Each structure stands twice: as C-alpha cells, then as structure tokens.
Amino acid sequence: MRNKLTEMGKKQLAFYFDSSSCSGCKTCQVACKDKHDSGEGILWRRVYEAAGGDWVKDGNAWVPNVYSYYISMACNHCVEPLCLYSCPNNAIVKNDDGIVLIEKDRCMGCRYCEWNCPYGALQFDKSQGVMTKCTFCDDYLAEGKKPSCITACPMRVLDIGELEELEKEHGKSNEIFPMPRAHYTQPAIVVKPHRDARMAENVEMKIDNLEEIKNEQ
C-alpha cells in the first residue's frame, strides 16, 4: 500500500512558507476558518510562536539573548502520511495531486490518525463526530485558484508548488523547530527559516503560544 501511494512520478503539491518574514498575524488561520467554517477550537492552519533565550544584566543594562520566530502550518500532505496508514477504516486517501483527504462518511471518529500525525494537523470535530483537516482547498485548485491561506497573507510569505520544484528552488528545509524530524512522514513543505531558527541548537526554544494552538475538542 505504501509503495502504491508514493510511486514515482506522481504529483506532490506542497506548501512553501517563508518564516523569515512571517509576522505571526494569523490572517492565514482565520482565512482558513472562514472558508471552511471550522468551529471554535479547530485550527486546520495554525501559527506556532517559537521563542527562547534569556536576559543578562550587564551593569545597568539589560542584554537580550532572546530569539523568536513564527511557523505557520497546516497539514503537510506528507509523502508518507502516517495518518493514512493508521486509519482502521481506510477513511483517509491521498489524491493524484498528493493531497491527503478524509472521506468523511467513512470516518468513525476513532482519532487514531490524530495520535499518529506528528504535526497536529488532524483535528476532531465534536459536532460532527469526525476528524477534519486541511484539504489544500482542493475546490479552489480545481478553479485554478490558490488555497485561501496563501492569498490571505499580508506579508506574502505563503505559497504552494510542486514539492520537487520548491525543493529545487529553496532547498530541502522541513524540520525547523518545533517541527519533528522529517523522516517519519516526509512532509510536503519547504520552510525558509528565520535567522533565529538556528538558535534552536544553542538555546532552549519552546512554543510560546501553546494555549493558542491546541485543538480544544
């Protein structure tokens, strides 16, 4: 099954995200909520605020040793989608564009996929009793438009493309903190890192805004 899904030559759409200029304004998050009418607590796209470091008193002065950047993330429509593999009812599919989708009428709401996704992309909708996730705005793609989050961005730091093309242009960059190691699922995303992202190796970085991103349901 795994080989069939990822056979060579198949299209793999991917997100591009320029973290170096992301302001964390979350317009993408709300554009997504508005388009998909996802309820409170459901964040198909969400923005992680990474922060770390400390302050040093130097005489009368305060020296900041503080680092921060934002990671806007939806579903990464992984090349190896663990969510799909874990679904006991085959309710998750990967389409010809490489987009990972949930077939709602097959979903039992068991939430196994939620446990398996290392990105928190799969989110339970209590009112419907099913899992939900980013669809890459496949309806917009069919109309020749880009996903809602992309065209929303006031800083123009989001885009889409073919994974291979994006990696050719920007290099492979898909495990910026707080993203997990990429080898588990091979996420279809290319992140241009903020300069502070390299500090994650030297200082303890944490997600500063956990309360803003957890799926409440």
What is the contact surface with another protein in residues (CB under 8 A)? 20-27, 29-31, 33-35, 40-41, 43, 51-55, 58-64, 66, 68-70, 143, 148, 151-156, 194, 208-209, 211-212
Question: Closer to another protein at the Cβ: 108 or 210?
Answer: 210
Least distance in angstroms from the C-beta of 207 to another protein: 11
* Separation between Cα atoms, residue 174 and residue 188, nearest integer Å: 8
Question: Closer to another protein at the Cβ: 94 or 194?
Answer: 194
Q: Is 164 left (phi over 0), alpha (psi -120 to 50) or beta?
A: alpha
- The closest alpha carbon to 24, from 211, 216, 209, belongs to 209
Least distance in angstroms from the C-beta of 36 to another protein: 9
Between strands 189-192 and 205-207, the pairing is unpaired
Least distance in angstroms from the C-beta of 165 to another protein: 21
Question: Closer to another protein at the Cβ: 66 or 108?
Answer: 66
Least distance in angstroms from the C-beta of 150 to another protein: 11
CB 158 within 8 A of CB 150: yes
CB 94 within 8 A of CB 82: no
